[in-house]
Amino acid sequence: MRKDQSQRSASGQRVDPLVFGLATLISAVILISIVAIPQYLSTRARLEELRKHVGEVGRIAAIAVDGDLHRKLLDPSNYTDALYEQALAPLVKFHFADPDIFYVYTMVDRRGVPYFVLDTATSPKLRTKHELRPSAYMEKFELEDDDDGQWLRDLAAGKEYISPDFEEDDYGTFLTAHVPIYDSHGRNSGFVGVDFDMGYSLAGEARFRAIAIASLAGALLLALLIGYFVARYHASMRRRIKQLHDISIQDSLTGFYNRRAAMSPAMQ
């Protein structure tokens, strides 16, 4: 009788895999949410700061462009190599001053279709760490099929456009600022574009990614520990309840079952 009771008590100490799994899963969901949600919000906040920076660079680039020269180049009949080089020179200096910039160019909208006007990648004087694909004067920029051209209409209305996130096109994946160009009479004379590739963001995000990975790993480890201790507590409570039940149905002196045990459905 005592041996049987001892065996039942020992079996009560075993951790229930189902309890362990459920406790671990619930803990993991809660802890990962606590870690992941702030990480996501922090990432979005850093992206917004990066967008502001790209917008500021775009505005400076627009100031660097000679609006009157650029307006002349909008008419292909005015084009000469000398005029092109003269209009391009300030942008080449601007591009060279910031090695993080990938592309610097200007465009004009012709009935909803953008065409390149200036591109610093065409200049042999540009020194950059990036491998660039130059765009020729009045080369058409192919829009994506899902592009409704709203950004072109905004630019025509004098508004700036900064891509909401890194966007892929035929030239790469970039965070881009487009800013209108004006001549000395205040007339819209096309717009300047400044591209920063994804590597610019990834370099700054590397440290934050390491923190995020470490935090998620820590959350999973803590969830496992919580699941284990919950399962241990559950097993301990089951063992204690079993002990109290055994005491209530056995005579403490003789060890024989009493009347309560006889009336128990489990003993019938």
Q: What pTM, to 2 d.p., does this model score?
A: 0.70
List pLDDT tens digits, range 150-192.
999 999 999 999 999 988 888 888 999 999 999 999 999 999 9
Q: What angle do CA 237, 29, 39 make, to 5 degrees?
A: 140
CATH superfamily of 49-204: PAS domain (3.30.450.20)
226 confidence band (pLDDT: 50, 70, 90): very high
Kindly give the pairing relationship between strand 161-162 and strand 172-182.
Answer: antiparallel
| Rounded Cα gap, residues 107 and 118, in angstroms | 7
Q: Shortest CA distance to 141 belongs to which of 102, 106, 174?
A: 106
| Cβ-proximal residues to 249 (8 Å cutoff; 6+ apart), any chain | 257, 258, 260, 261, 264, 267
List pLDDT tens digits, range 109-133.
998 999 999 999 999 999 888 889 9
Lowest pLDDT segment from 6-15, 33-42, 61-70, 208-217: 6-15
| Cβ-proximal residues to 163 (8 Å cutoff; 6+ apart), any chain | 51, 174, 175, 176, 177
| Rounded Cα gap, residues 49 and 205, in angstroms | 13
List pLDDT tens digits, range 43-59.
889 889 999 999 999 99
| Rounded Cα gap, residues 1 and 266, in angstroms | 17
Name the 3-class secondary structure at 112: coil
| Rounded Cα gap, residues 160 and 18, in angstroms | 57
Structure tokens given for 119: 């591109």
pLDDT at 100: 87
Structure tokens given for 231: 């399962």
Please list the alpha-helical segments (H only) found in the chain.
2-11, 17-64, 67-73, 81-97, 150-156, 198-249, 259-263
Return the C-alpha torsion angle 204, 46, 34, 214, nearest 10.
Answer: 0
pLDDT at 73: 96
Instruction: Output phi, psi for 98, to 5 deg.
Output: -125, 95
Return the C-alpha torsion angle 109, 113, 118, 120, nearest 10.
Answer: 130
How many CB atoms are closer than 10 A to CB 79?
15
Give the residue extent of every domain in the chain: 2-39+210-267, 49-204
Structure letter (DSSP) for residue 117: E
Residue 5 has pLDDT above 70, yes or no: no
Structure tokens given for 168: 């892929």
pLDDT at 7: 42
pLDDT at 263: 66
Structure tokens given for 57: 């660079």
pLDDT at 255: 65
Average pLDDT over residues 236-253: 79
140 confidence band (pLDDT: 50, 70, 90): very high
pLDDT at 268: 54
